[in-house]
A and B are shown apart, each in its own frame.
Chain A
Amino acid sequence: MRHIISVLLENESGALARLVGLFAQRGYNIDSLNVAPTDDATLSRLTLVTQGNDQVIEQISKQLHKLIEVVKVSDISEAAHIERELMLVKVKANGNQREEVKRCADIFRGQIIDVTPGTYTIQLVGTSDKLDAFIQALGTTPILEVVRSGASGIARGEKTLAL
C-alpha cells in the first residue's frame, strides 16, 4: 500500500542524511521525498511516499521517531488529506503538435511556462496520479525532460502537524 508520511525535522546538518540512511539501512523504499524549511527556520518539513504493509509502515514510523532530530511523524494518508506534486515537462512541439500539446495541457489545467520554436515547457500541479495521467495523455509527443518534485501533503481540516 502507498503511504504518505510527513515529518517535522530539526533543520540541522546531518539530520536529512540520517533519515535517508535509515531507509537504506533497513530496506524500506522511498518512492519520493520532498524537503524544505518551514515558516519556522529551525524546522524542515518532509513528505515521503513509501510502500509497505501495515507492519512495515508501523516500523517505519517508529524508527523515524527514534531519530533524535525527528520532532513529529504522521502518516497523513491514514485520514483525509490533500496531496500535491509539481511537474515540469519539456516536450518537442512542432507544427500540428503545438496545438495538440496546448489542448492537452489545458485539459489538465497545466500552464505552458516556456516556449521556443521547437519546444514547450509545461508546468502541472496535482496528485501524483494526475501527473502520471498527463504523461500518458501526451501520447506520441516526444518528451525531452521530466522534473517532478515528489508529493507534498497536508491533512484536511483542523488537524495539523506543527509544534
Chain B
Amino acid sequence: MTSQTQPDDKSANPNRSTEMLSGAAMVIRALADEGVEYLYGYPGGAVLHIYDALFQQNKVKHVLVRHEQAATHMADAYARASGKAGVVLVTSGPGATNAVTGIATAYMDSIPMVILTGQVMSHLIGGDAFQETDMLGISRPICKHNMSVRRPEDIPYLIKKAFHIAQSGRPGPVVLDIPKDMTMPNQKFPYHYPTEINLRSYQPKQQGHSGQIKKAVTALLGAKKPILYAGGGVIMGGASNELTELAQLLNLPVTNTLMGLGAYPAGDKQFIGMLGMHGSYEANQTMHHADVILAVGARFDDRVTNNTKKFCPDATIIHIDIDPASISKTVNAHIPIVGLVQPVLSDMLALLKQKKKKLDSAALQSWWQQIEQWRAVHGGRYDTTAPLLKPQYVIEQVSKITKGEAYVCSDVGQHQMFAAQYYPFNKPNRWINSGGLGTMGFGLPAAMGVKLNYPDADVVCVTGEGSIQMNIQELSTCKQYGLGVKIINLNNGYLGMVKQWQDMNYESRYASSYMDSLPDFVKLAEAYGHVGIRVTTPEELQPALERAFALKDQLVFLDIHIDPKEHVYPMQVPGGAMNDMFLSKTERT
C-alpha cells in the first residue's frame, strides 16, 4: 500500500503568484483560510515549529489549556454550539493520548472536529522514539477518519480534506498526524488552499429518496397515535425549524432525546419531554403506545429503547437519518429514509402542504387526551417541602434567572439528568452534554469553549463535586482568558449516579461512591482568582444566583449543597419496555 492521495489542484488560480511557505506556516495558514478563529491546544517538542508559525501571525488565536483533554472538549463544545468544526493542536505521545477521551466523546455524539497531533520525525516512526505513540492506531476506532502527512506540500490538501470529512455526512472528529520533519521552518513549498474536495470513495447522500418520502407521508397521515421522536441529528443537521413546522402542521406530540433537547421548543404544549432511561412518564408512555413513530436524526440508543424486544410493539417506524448504518441497527425501521434531515423534512413538508390532508382529527384528539392524562401523573414532580435544597429546584431557579436562554454545559451524573429534565430548552445548540460517551470532566471545558466564542451569552456549567474535579485545573485557563462561566456545582458529597444504582441494585452498599476529603470549593475558586459562593439552604439560593449572574465577566463558582439522598426519576426498569418505570423510591408503573 503505497501511494498518497495527490493534491487536487482544480481550484488553482494560475494568475496568482504562489506563495512559498514552510509546512508549519502552511498548517496555520490553512486554518486561517478555513476561517478558524480559535485553536485549542498545548505545545510540546513535535509541534514547536507549528507553535512558532502560530506566534508569527495574528489571524488564528491559540487558547492554552492546562490539560489536552480540555482542549478537545472546548473545541467540541464550540462545534456543538456553532455547527462548525472545532480545532485542536497537541504534541505527540502524551499530548496526543491526553486528547483521546475528548476525541471519543466527540465521535460518540457525531461532533465535527479536526485534531492535529504532532508526531516524531518520519524516519524515527516505528522505532519507539521519545514521545512516539501510534496515534493513527490509537485513534482509529474513535474517530471518523485519520490521516498522516507524508509530504509537506500535501498539508493544505490534507487539512481541507480533514474539514470536509469532519463536517459532511454524519459529522465526526478527524485526526491528522503531522511528523515534525513535515513542518521544518527552512523548507518551503508552494502554498495553495483548495476550495473543494471531491473524493470518489466518499459521497455522502444529501436528499432523501422521493419514493420513501412519499411512503412516509402516507404512513404518517394514516396514524391514529403518532409521535415525533427527534435526536441530536436534528440539531447538528440544523433542521429545528423544519421539525417544528412539521410537528405543528400535524399537531404531533414531540419527544427529544438527551442529545436532541432544544430541537423542538420545550415550552410548547406539544412537547412531552425527553424520552428514555430518565425520560418523562408521558414521553415513554406515548412512545410505547404509538402506532406510528417518526424518528428524525435519532439512533434508537439502548438508553432510549430499554429492552428492544419489548420496544413499541404496535409501531410502524419511519426513520430519517444521514447514516444508513444507524437505520435498523437496534430496532427495525419499516420506512427508512437516508439523507440529511433538513432537506428530507423540507420535502415532507412540501408534500404535506400540497396534499392538504391532515390526520384523523377525532383519533388525534383522543390520543392527546390520553397523553394529557399521562402528563398529569408525573409531570416532573419532586418534593418541594423538604428542608434540604433539591437539585431540581436549583435547576429551575437557574433557568428562571437565565430566562431559559443560557448555554447549559453539563458534566455527567445525576446533575446532568436534572438539568436535562428541569431546564426547558427552547432553542437548539444550547444544551451541551456528553450523551454517548458520558464523559465526566466534559462540563467545565465545554462551558469555556462556548463562553470564549459567545462572550455575551450566559454560559452555565452544571456539574457535581465528582465531575468538576476531573478538569478542575481549567479554572486557571478561565482566569487567563477571562471566561465568565457560571459553575453550578450540585454538591451532594457522592458520586450520586453511582450511589443511586447502588441504592437500587446493591442494597445501598456504597462501594467507592462517597467523595471523602472534598476541597473547600469556595477557597479553591478564590485561589484561582475567581469568585466562590457557598449555598447550603434554600433561602441562600436566590441571592447567590443574582449575585453570580450580575458579575457579568467573572467566573463564579457556586458550591450548592443539595439533598444527598435525591434520586433521578422517572427511571426505566432494566430489561423492561419503554413504559416500565420507577416513578419515585416507592412507586412503579
Which A residues are closer than 8 A to B by beta carbons?
A: 10-18, 21, 25, 41-42, 44, 55, 58-59, 62-63, 65-66, 68-71, 163
A62 in complex: contacting residue of B147, B200, B324, CB < 8 Å: B324
A14 in complex: contacting residue of B136, B165, B200, B328, CB < 8 Å: B136
Does residue B145 face the partner (Cβ distance < 8 Å to A)? Answer: yes
4 additional contacts, CB 8 Å, given A11-B3, A13-B1, A44-B1? A17-B137, A59-B329, A66-B325, A71-B200
- Whether the Cβ atoms of A68 and B3 lie closer than 8 Å is no
CA distance A10 to B1 in the complex (A): 9
A25 in complex: contacting residue of B4, B5, B141, B165, CB < 8 Å: B141
Q: Report if A70-B201 is in contact (Cβ < 8 Å); known contacts: A18-B140, A59-B325, A62-B325.
A: yes
B4 in complex: contacting residue of A12, A16, A68, CB < 8 Å: A12
B201 in complex: contacting residue of A55, A59, A68, CB < 8 Å: A68
Does residue B439 face the partner (Cβ distance < 8 Å to A)? Answer: no
* Interface residues of B, count at CB 8 A: 25
9 closest residue pairs by CB, A with B: A62-B325, A71-B201, A68-B145, A25-B141, A13-B1, A68-B202, A62-B324, A21-B140, A63-B325
Chain B residues closer than 8 Å to A15, beta-carbon distance: 1
Which B residues are closer than 8 A to A by beta carbons?
A: 1-5, 136-137, 140-141, 144-148, 165, 170, 199-202, 323-325, 328-329
Chain B residues closer than 8 Å to A11, beta-carbon distance: 1-3
CA distance A70 to B325 in the complex (A): 15
Chain B residues closer than 8 Å to A16, beta-carbon distance: 1
Q: Report if A41-B140 is in contact (Cβ < 8 Å); known contacts: A10-B201, A59-B329.
A: no
Chain A residues closer than 8 Å to B146, beta-carbon distance: 14
- Whether the Cβ atoms of B1 and A42 lie closer than 8 Å is no
Closest to A8 in B: B201
Chain A residues closer than 8 Å to B201, beta-carbon distance: 10, 68-71
CA distance A41 to B329 in the complex (A): 35
CA distance A11 to B201 in the complex (A): 11
Closest to A14 in B: B136
- Whether the Cβ atoms of A66 and B323 lie closer than 8 Å is yes
Closest to B6 in A: A42
Closest to B332 in A: A55
CA distance A107 to B573 in the complex (A): 64
- Whether the Cβ atoms of A12 and B140 lie closer than 8 Å is no
Chain B residues closer than 8 Å to A10, beta-carbon distance: 5, 201
Chain B residues closer than 8 Å to A59, beta-carbon distance: 325, 329
B1 in complex: contacting residue of A12, A62, A63, A70, CB < 8 Å: A12
Q: How far is the CB of B101 from the nearest CB of chain A, in Å?
A: 17
Q: List 19 A-B contacts (CB under 8 A).
A: A12-B4, A14-B136, A14-B148, A15-B1, A17-B137, A17-B140, A41-B3, A42-B3, A55-B328, A62-B324, A63-B325, A65-B325, A66-B323, A68-B145, A68-B199, A68-B201, A69-B201, A70-B201, A71-B200
B324 in complex: contacting residue of A17, A65, A70, CB < 8 Å: A65
Closest to A26 in B: B141
Chain A residues closer than 8 Å to B147, beta-carbon distance: 14
Closest to A63 in B: B325
Q: How far is the CB of A153 from the nearest CB of chain B, in Å?
A: 21
Q: Quick one: which of B1, B140, B147, B148 has the most chain A CB within 10 A?
A: B1
Chain A residues closer than 8 Å to B137, beta-carbon distance: 17
Chain A residues closer than 8 Å to B144, beta-carbon distance: 68
CA distance A70 to B199 in the complex (A): 11
Q: How far is the CB of B348 from the nearest CB of chain A, in Å?
A: 23
CA distance A44 to B324 in the complex (A): 24
Chain B residues closer than 8 Å to A25, beta-carbon distance: 141
Chain A residues closer than 8 Å to B324, beta-carbon distance: 62, 65
Chain B residues closer than 8 Å to A17, beta-carbon distance: 137, 140
CA distance A14 to B137 in the complex (A): 9
Chain B residues closer than 8 Å to A65, beta-carbon distance: 324-325
CA distance A44 to B1 in the complex (A): 9
Chain B residues closer than 8 Å to A71, beta-carbon distance: 200-201
- Whether the Cβ atoms of A58 and B140 lie closer than 8 Å is no
CA distance A69 to B140 in the complex (A): 13
CA distance A55 to B202 in the complex (A): 24
CA distance A66 to B170 in the complex (A): 10
CA distance A21 to B136 in the complex (A): 12
Q: Report if A12-B325 is in contact (Cβ < 8 Å); known contacts: A21-B140, A68-B199, A71-B200.
A: no
Q: Quick one: which of A12, A41, A59, A63 has the most chain B CB within 10 A?
A: A12
Q: How far is the CB of A67 from the nearest CB of chain B, in Å?
A: 8
Chain A residues closer than 8 Å to B329, beta-carbon distance: 59
Chain A residues closer than 8 Å to B323, beta-carbon distance: 66
- Whether the Cβ atoms of B1 and A21 lie closer than 8 Å is no
Q: How far is the CB of A83 from the nearest CB of chain B, in Å?
A: 25
